[in-house]
Structure 1
Amino acid sequence: MIDLDIQLTLSDARRRFELSARLSTEARFAVLYGPSGSGKTTTLQAIAGLQQPTAGRICIDGQTLFDHAGNINVPGRQRRVGYLFQQYALFPHLSVRANVEFGLTSWYKRRPSHEQRDRVEALLESFGLSAMENSLPRSLSGGQQQRVALARALACEPRILLLDEPFAALNPMLKDSLRAELAATCQQWGIPVLMITHDPEDVVQLAQVAFVFEAGRIVREIDVENGRMKEHLAQSLGQSPAPIDPRRQKLKAWLG
């Protein structure tokens, strides 16, 4: 279960951005949807421990990762959060295997444990990467690089997988097959997913629930599976959720 209610302010000499995000869901695949700059990535970074909210709380599967009032802020490395960055952030000088193993080692722990090595082997095999485990990222296709990044995110046995626009850098011709592959992978490893996208097709094909962002706020929640929508403002006024037509085009209309 994902349960968060956070406030966070980012500012520089030119711009001030205020995020106020509140959501709670038990969906296995949830999506944050909206335009660039609306607060989606900042929300993911707060969950991962890369940004510290100024107020609020973050709970994943019953564990509190952040609580401003309770002075709780679990370090990012201890949160067991798998994060797939938009551009994958693979280390260009490391092999496929070394990239997947990267989060399992540190300056005081040079090698993964036997159990961790077994998990890496299983991930390489599962993602079809075994034959290229000694290759460098520059020799891989976009889809192969995505698989390496996803395997790396799963290697640490995360309690949740955070995906920041995983298909944005890919050829449109590949997206349908990789969506199906991602859905199968998440089901196989049994890990809940929170994904950022601004592509309605990602929501249609993958999401159980979508949270629509506008200007740092979640303004709409769409139950994709059951074809229902509720405006967060209407909900606060005690109004009932409005039914929506579950057909593809109507859903995309609600997404905007």
Structure 2
Amino acid sequence: MKRSKRWYKVVENSASSLDLYAKVEDLLGVKEAAPRLYAHYLLFLTGVNFDSLLDVGCGSGDFLLQMQEALGIMSPKGIDLSPLMVQKSSQKGIDATCIDLCELKDKYDVITAVFDMLNYLDKPSLARFLTCVSAHLNEGGFFLCDINTLYGFKDVAVGSYVVDDKERFLTIDSDFEANKYVSEFTLFEKEGTHFKKSQETITQYYHTVDEIMKLSGLKLVSSDLVTLYEMDRADKKFLVFEKNKQ
């Protein structure tokens, strides 16, 4: 694997896999790539008026924290399926809850799903998720997300990745076949004079813009190519959808 990806926040992947990601997120190069992706979200949000924002799969809270500081958002909300991630967000002062989107009661002007969150959902889960996105958007509200391109899966992410920070030794072996990207995480954590081994498999799925548009029932407003990892072609697409006013 030439560059790391952000692996987490998915209904069908196990809770233990979400927590394993929480332990190694800082080893995956997310912080280095994040500003280039966040810039697309920030640029769009500076041009629209909104009072409420929900980030689905908020992770450690870095995205919400940056949006809050840059845009002056009073009370952005974050949700994640990993208790460890929610804890990290809360420690940064973010209003974060460990809950499924579909279980929320409130509606929002803006909903975001950052760093290929949608790619962690298989087709049935994607359909359910997008239905809930639409249900929790106010009329005229926006859904902002990014997805991996086919090039991003096949040419950027496939292979092996190894990192060692003396306290943790992490390997990721991944392959892409039949529009499915499977990664095996193996983590060794130092505990005294010994190392504790943890192993999880996490799956991502290739989705098209047309699929997302059809399943969500939302109107596509913008689709921009994004290059995060200094490759020859774009490895992501930044998408903006709008919920029509009735």
TM-score, normalized by the shorter chain, greater than 0.5: no
For the pair shown, which has the larger CA radius of gyration, 1 or 2? 1
Greater share of strand residues, 1 or 2?
2
Name the TM-score, length of structure 2 as normaliser.
0.33
Name the TM-score, length of structure 1 as normaliser.
0.32
Which is bigger in relative contact order (C-alpha 8 A, separation at least 6)?
A: 1
